[in-house]
Amino acid sequence: MITTICMNPSFDRTVEIDTLQIGQVNRIGNARIDLGGKGINVAVVAERLGLDVQCLGLMGKDGSEELTSLIEKENLKHSFQVIPGHVRTNTKIVSKCGQGVTELNEPGPVVDQAALESFFRMAREKTADSDMVVLTGSLPPGCPEGTYRDLLKILEGKKCILDTEGKELELAAKGACPYLIKPNLKEMEATLGMELRTMRTIRDAALIFIRLGVEHAVVSMGEMGAMYVSAEKTLFAPALRVETKSTVGAGDAMIGGMLLGYEKEKNMAKAFRYGIAAGAASVMTEGTQLIVREDFERLLEMVKIQEV
């Protein structure tokens, strides 16, 4: 059993326009609403790839029935603690002219200390049969600094994958030593407060976390590809050339692919190849639809891994 944790799920509304005009009326072409939240995204990908997975989390009461319905349509096992407030809606504005994706993300419901402690107890109980746990996504308002670090400590003994940035990543790496971290390049730069413009500087940045006790680090770099770093080796994978429809959720899909790779290979360096294929398959889907298994299987044979 694999567990993913999503403490701030959402409805993801994707709208398509010709050109984003700031301060003007913008006419929407296509629009869709998908299930959202990084921990949920990882679980959806893992389930579609055939893994035994469950998702735990918190959700606001207003909108909880609709969100639960979307989760169940994905055949996901789930346990969510309902708290006062509403499920947030994150809006992705896709400009057809090539401006990229503009994201408008709501904060989510406020979590008080009692609710947080209750969730920690639930997480410890519900992960009893899980060897691997994924912690990813933004934290809702009210969570104190170091929440992910504290949750990792409660999950001691599990192989924990952490995908976050900034102070949460720094504190977790120093105080709880996650099994794997997966920041993207911008998140790594923001966390360390430095520009990373060469393969060597990116590797050296990842090694900072390895020296703190993190066993594996994967840095996704968009069109530049991705890098895997451990104390023993550094691997680089160029980005696969596919038709890009949406990059939203690609990092979550990468983690889902690596979970499958680790299940099959029992080796995280070898699992890196699966993550590259899953991330590439994700960008081929519109909105936040995440992944089609047939795309993943076809792309897996195309992944090239180089040791650097």
Convert the pLDDT of each residue in 162-211 to its tens digit. 999 999 999 999 999 999 999 999 999 999 999 999 999 999 999 999 99
CATH code where residue 232 lies: 3.40.1190.20
Residue 300 to residues 144, 281, 295, Cα–Cα distance (Å): 40, 9, 9
Active site residue: 12, 34, 252, 295, which one?
Answer: 252
Which of 52-56, 96-100, 277-281 has the weakest average pLDDT? 96-100
Q: CA torsion, points 274, 7, 44, 149, in degrees to nearest 10?
A: 20
pLDDT tier, 5 (very low <50, low <70, confident <90, very high otherwise): very high
Question: Which of the 8 DSSP states describes residue 76?
Answer: -
Which residues have C-beta within 8 Å of that of residue 171, sequence separation ≥ 6? 145, 146, 148, 149
Q: What are phi and psi of 36, to 5 degrees?
A: -135, 175
Report how many domains make up the chain. Answer: 1
* 34: CB partners within 8 A, 6+ apart: 11, 12, 14, 70, 287, 288, 289
CA atoms of 236 and 296, how far apart (whole Å): 19
Task: Give the separation between CA 5 and CA 117, rounded to whole angstroms.
Answer: 15
59 forms bridges with which residues in the sheet? Answer: 82
Q: Is 252 a catalytic residue?
A: yes
pTM for the full predicted model: 0.93
pLDDT tens digits for range 67-122:
999 999 999 999 999 999 999 999 999 888 878 889 999 999 999 999 999 999 99
Segments forming the whole domain that contains residue 147: 2-21+28-307
Q: What is the DSSP string of 109-162?
A: PPPPHHHHHHHHHHHHHHTTT-SEEEEESPPPTTPPTTHHHHHHHHTTTSEEEE
Partners of 92 in the β-ladder:
14, 103
pLDDT at 124 > cutoff 60: yes
pLDDT band at 59; cut points 50, 70, 90: very high
Identify the burial level of 258 via C-beta atoms within 10 angstroms of its C-beta, where 0-12 means exposed, 13-18 middle and 19 or more buried: buried
Alpha carbon 275 to chain centroid, angstroms? 12
